Chain A
């Protein structure tokens, strides 16, 4: 019998029993979809963290937890560790090892959107090693005066603030504790695909003035403080030289945000590894379940296979038919699992996107397809062994016909 004939028989057997076929494929599809979702979520979270940290080469902040500094400065989460003196920023901006540095001041918000006081240097930040600017204006202009604000793309979309609108900021995240000064929206930033899409950028001087409480001297001069300083080193050796010099600093710390974010992810992924064990266990169980369904399905077809044997089909041909039926079913399950997993991941990211600071999106690498692919191959191997062990075409079956 030709392989084409065996394939035709297998496909006809499957299409003639759609419920059995779908049930067997669904078992594999659901478990592989679960594994795909977990894989994509993990990958998306990792990519999101790396993407968020990418524009920032070095961060200098108050001594304390480096994770908290990164969470606060890069992810705009958690509370600042503390402030550092303006002189700290001034020293960095004059350091030849720094190409440029940008002071940041956090602490205020508007309806949950963090207000970030920045220096103009923030517009010089590039995306990683590329020449593309990290922060660009989509509408309006960059702020010129104090109490002018530029909205992050998501902050603009969600807060419904438009260019020309005015708003008051709150101290911390307490809505009632509003500052008196009014900010005016003068521009909307293009998407940066990170936490800063939720930010409202203002001149750092406005933050100082807002907190001055009538003390004009607080608004400028050496007494001012910044929460963190973003530093673009002049070169890689300069970055490490700066890091070494901050090791002995009692008040400040310097972190490599990408490295810290990666360590942070490793801490988080301990739970992910535990979940992986569960998901992969479910996947292995589902392969066995699918093979069991296929086994019973093959038993149901013993008469037909015995008949094919009586017509002259060899044991090899009958085994091939059984194996092809299993393989086709597993292929349907694996493909459906990949599609279902991706759809599920899109849905999960859409749901999570509204509640997380990190911009996570479904990676387009298709590495996760290795999960259903491995499940398919393992199942197909199992189906092959089962097909070889199957007793078909025996006269006993024919006698019962």
Chain B
């Protein structure tokens, strides 16, 4: 009997350019190499415009990079061409800066809907949602819509939604930016606990030094040079 290999994420020669309205192209991200294993927690830092959000979007297969590869378990997440949505549904949990819960659905419905999209449904999904809501102290708020929840509650619900389908990778884009220090601490504690328990790879983009200090590994991105000068800045820096 062989032990199951942990999820393995690898990024090679990643470049991404955006087209400007005047036709020129601006390089938004440049990263030569990065690899991570399941259960790792990585802080993604860098100045504004260094491509933190772009990098997370590429990892979530929301955008296809101009150049380079993203491999998960040795397989390109963009191949075949329509694989992006499946990759997100089955393997990625995404947490946005502004929560972005679906406004027309209650807290528990937001969780169950995410589970259904990931093909987790029925009693197992309900049990998992109830357990997460209790653990995140949202049980009494489960029937409320996002507009009736506090910012802290909304972000906790977003964390629960991101982990409900046991993803391999959690990508969090400034998840505590709109929270006070106390709530930010609560959210980060829960997030790191949940990822450690299930050996999920956690990548958190942040500007917050206090959050950054929580991570054993920090990936530093730097603002790429103009596209006319194709020489990329090598940004990875493990701490």
**Residues of chain A at the chain B interface (Cβ within 8 Å):** 1-2, 5, 9, 12-13, 16, 303-304, 307-315, 317, 393-395, 398-399, 401
- Given A309-B85, A311-B113, 12 extra CB contacts under 8 A: A1-B117, A2-B116, A5-B113, A9-B113, A12-B104, A310-B96, A311-B118, A312-B85, A312-B92, A393-B85, A399-B57, A401-B97
The interface on chain B, measured as residues whose beta carbon lies within 8 A of the other chain's beta carbons, has a size of 28
Q: Which residue in chain B gives the minimum CB-CB distance to A17?
A: B104
Q: In the complex the two chains form, is A313's CB within 8 Å of B117's CB?
A: yes
**Residues of chain B at the chain A interface (Cβ within 8 Å):** 53, 57, 60, 62-63, 82, 85-86, 88-90, 92, 94, 96-98, 100, 102-105, 113-114, 116-118, 121, 161
Residues of B within 8 A of A310 (CB): 60, 62, 88, 94, 96, 100
Q: Which of B96, B113, B117, B118 touches A398 (beta carbons < 8 Å)?
A: B96
Q: Which of B53, B89, B102 touches A307 (beta carbons < 8 Å)?
A: B102
CA A2 – CA B114 in complex, angstroms? 12
Residues of A within 8 A of B92 (CB): 312
Residues of A within 8 A of B104 (CB): 12-13, 16, 304
Q: What are 29 pairs between A and B in contact, CB < 8 Å?
A: A1-B117, A2-B121, A5-B117, A12-B104, A16-B104, A303-B100, A304-B102, A304-B103, A308-B102, A308-B117, A309-B85, A310-B60, A310-B94, A311-B118, A311-B161, A312-B85, A312-B88, A312-B92, A312-B118, A313-B89, A314-B85, A317-B117, A393-B62, A398-B62, A398-B96, A399-B57, A401-B96, A401-B97, A401-B98
**A311-B94 CB under 8 A given contacts A1-B116, A1-B117:** yes
Q: Which of A2, A5, A395 touches B57 (beta carbons < 8 Å)?
A: A395
CA A393 – CA B116 in complex, angstroms? 17
Report which residue of A1, A5, A308, A312 has the largest number of chain B beta carbons within 10 angstroms of its beta carbon.
A312
Q: In the complex the two chains form, is B88's CB within 8 Å of A311's CB?
A: yes
Q: Which residue in chain A gives the minimum CB-CB distance to B87?
A: A312
Residues of B within 8 A of A1 (CB): 116-117
Smallest CB–CB gap between B159 and chain A, Å? 14
CA A151 – CA B9 in complex, angstroms? 96
Q: In the complex the two chains form, is B89's CB within 8 Å of A399's CB?
A: no
Q: In the complex the two chains form, is A311's CB within 8 Å of B89's CB?
A: yes
**A314-B116 CB under 8 A given contacts A395-B63, A401-B96:** no
Residues of A within 8 A of B103 (CB): 16, 304
Q: In the complex the two chains form, is B114's CB within 8 Å of A12's CB?
A: no
Smallest CB–CB gap between B118 and chain A, Å? 6
CA A308 – CA B60 in complex, angstroms? 13
**A314-B57 CB under 8 A given contacts A308-B117, A398-B62, A398-B96:** no
